[in-house]
Amino acid sequence: MAHQWVEWGDRVHGGFGSLIALGVRLGNDALVQLKAQRREVLVEYSDGPQTPCACVLDGIAVAVSASLGQRTLKLNDQRTEEGLLARVKFTHRQTQQQVVYELPISVLKRMGEINQGTSPIERFEAVQGIDARELFRIQRP
């Protein structure tokens, strides 16, 4: 399945880096947390003040099949507080249950290191192998 995620992420984003892999991991985790299937969640994403791009969001979109056109994907103009790479809220469209992921800015350095000298598959596998507690905190509103 790793090859498929890399192919889809590359097709949507134009390349497959560790931030895309992180988005895929978040999206898949959110589906489990909410007991949802692909296309059953709304995604609201906010960058942190030092976040250079919303690449994580492309990986999330691939994982959960969310899109701007379906109005299931939203990139907020307002940024999060200092110390975060991103905050992502997932809402199950039927049950309205929510889960919020906060990614610390420290993740950005780790993702950059993963991208150095590795293939897209290796990037995907490296991100999948990191303990979730190092990548994000989960909150339930």
DSSP annotation of 74 reads: E
Digit-coded pLDDT (tens) for 3-50: 675 566 556 656 778 998 999 999 999 999 999 999 999 999 999 999
Report whether 121 contacts 32 (CB < 8 A). Answer: no
What pLDDT does residue 120 have? 84
Q: For helices 2-13 and 55-64, give the axis angle rounded to 10 degrees.
A: 130
For range 106-130, the mean pLDDT: 93
For range 119-125, the mean pLDDT: 90
What pLDDT does residue 6 have? 57
What pLDDT does residue 54 have? 87
Residue type (1 letter), 14: G
How many CA atoms are closer than 13 Å to the CA of 33, on its beta-carbon side?
A: 22
Digit-coded pLDDT (tens) for 53-103: 889 999 999 999 999 899 999 999 999 999 999 999 999 999 999 999 999
> Domains plus CATH for the chain?
2-139 (3.30.1330.130)
What pLDDT does residue 140 have? 79
What pLDDT does residue 10 have? 56
For the stretch 32-40, contacts whose Cβ atoms lie closer than 8 Å and that sit 24 or more positions apart, written own/partner, are 33/90, 33/99, 33/138, 34/90, 34/92, 34/95, 34/97, 34/98, 34/99, 35/92, 36/64, 36/92, 36/93, 38/63, 38/64, 38/65, 39/64, 39/65, 39/66, 39/70, 39/72, 40/92, 40/93, 40/94
DSSP annotation of 37 reads: -
CA 22/CA 131 separation, integer angstroms: 12
